[in-house]
Structure 1
Amino acid sequence: MNWIRVALVGAVLVLSGCASKGDTSGWGYPPMAVPLQPSIQQEIQLSRLDQLLQRPDVDDVTRAKMYYERGLIKDSLGLRDLARVDFTQSLTLKPDQSDVFNILGVYYTQNTDFDGAYEALDSALELDPNNQFAERNLAIALYYGERYDQAYEIAQKHYNDAPRDPYRAIWLYWIGLEVDAKVATETFQKQYQQRTDEDFGWDLAGLILKETSEDEFLKKILTTTRNNVALAEKLTEGYFYLAKRYQYEGDYPNAIALYKLSMSNNVYEYVEHRYSFVELGNIYKALRDLQEQKIKEQQAQEAKEAPVAPQEKSTEKEMLKEEATAK
């Protein structure tokens, strides 16, 4: 089966609901929010910044700030290429902006340009060693770049700086799985058991560890969330980390569909939305490599089983005739 076809099959499986798994059997369709749309406030802010940037009396520092703010709005609307242009313009006018290097590093990671990501995020941390977002994003970039030991070292430091933060524990777990899966799982379970608050991130941790069923997790979101924006944000996170769990277990069809569900809410500024693209690319590559390996094995087996024609021996008379002809 072609690897692209395999990916499409995965999407079809979950359109019948995440209920293909036992503990979500109550869902006919996966819970979804109305995808977020541009607000009138965002449109007004964009228009206002466009006008201000055309004024000749704006100094470079202020102009750099406006480019950064306009880039953030464009980023929140999913206009990432246009946002990147604004961020680059901002750095041209004011190069010492740690936050701008940080978000550019995330862009490079999303595009799997890991060398660019390392350089941008290193610059962010050089300018501001206390930039916690840049520190986390550097660990994630190293993780996706398969530099697991370095990623784990940074993720461990990042977690130690705020051990009550569930998201730091979650990413330390994913990275740790590539270093020592047993230790990572035991540590994550201990962190979960020692939680001291009701942060939604710990609900995600419980889902990842299967301490909470998918059905319970989704019901809690739907019964405790009061507006569509919050629902979209929580489902973006929930579907992403559930997809990673399925992916780690080798259940690619459900993982593919869940990553797509995570992106469907249009919560563009969330790292879970951004890195869904990276994860899907990794799955497609794994499926393609698996298919190519199966083809090679099949060809080798066919060659091994093919009948070999017996080699015909020339008689002495034929050999003499061939010699005479040659002369």
Structure 2
Amino acid sequence: MLSCFVLSALPFLWPTVLSSAATLDDLKQLEITCYVPSYLTRGLLLQNVEITYDGIQENEDQNHPLPLYSIQYGNGWNATFTIESAREGVGDRNIMAAEENAEETEIKSPFGRMYLIYRPKGKDGRKDEIITNWVSDPNMNGEKGKAPDSHPVLGRFHGFSATGITVTEFTKIIQSLHPIGNDKAHTPALTANAPAPEKPAAEKSALKIHPKVFNMIDSWVSDAESPVATEINLNAVEKNGNQFNEDGLKQDGDWLIYSLPDTGGFMRYRVLEAKGNHYKIEYQENGGGTLTPASTIEFDIEKRHIRLNGSPMTIHVLRVTSYNQK
């Protein structure tokens, strides 16, 4: 099984050293090609960038650093998208412990055909895990084309994985990948098979939380004390599709808006700040009249361990840390 995913494993896996935290701007300074998406599923934000340096072999230039990079995006609780790179020593990434519950597929990508595996089975719904095989960039293809047994200097393999999103969303992210910065030399080769990029994630709401959640925090206009709720179970919000119906949701610039049926009113919010699992938003609501109260809410997204019907479980909660009514 999974024979179609196996790349020819290279004979040596050399140690990676000198790990350091970095920024996307730091990646632009590297001589290797680093890839970033122009589209991200709503709620995914940059969480971590890391640059490491591969060990230099005895027959290689001891004064030529060999950088690798990794990038992680996340929504603070259940969804992630990760990019990894390798110089050599790669094998099969498309292996999952519970293969009986996994399914394989093939998608088009800027790198050509890309094989991936995901679980649970079924094309619909968010996946617990999605993993692609390694793909080689134009530098790697060029170096291996000239000398198949050589150790790559600029060429890299790139691997992609995700949790908590659908295969369709994952495919959109993959098809939006491009070299960071102004690496025009590689762009035509990578984008020949890719569809036109969708609206950048930066222009979309930075959270995938229903506006009704923030309505639960605000008090009624006629009442004096807010916030009412200071901790909300996001697992329940995600699963309770009747109470948190997405039919009336739409994106309007920075605002994620939920239109209230029959009244002409709305609930909406926009992200003012986001850092890791901490967010600051402006929330507004209108019942259909001329009054539109607004508040600024800061909160963290955290894990909680509780017991449900006597059994232990872990949930993700929104915990309010600051509230200001305008």
TM-score range, shorter chain: under 0.3
Q: Where is the strand percentage greater, Structure 1 or Structure 2?
A: 2
TM-score by length of 2: 0.20
Q: Where is the helix percentage greater, Structure 1 or Structure 2?
A: 1
Whichever of the two has the greater Rg, that structure is 1
TM-score by length of 1: 0.20
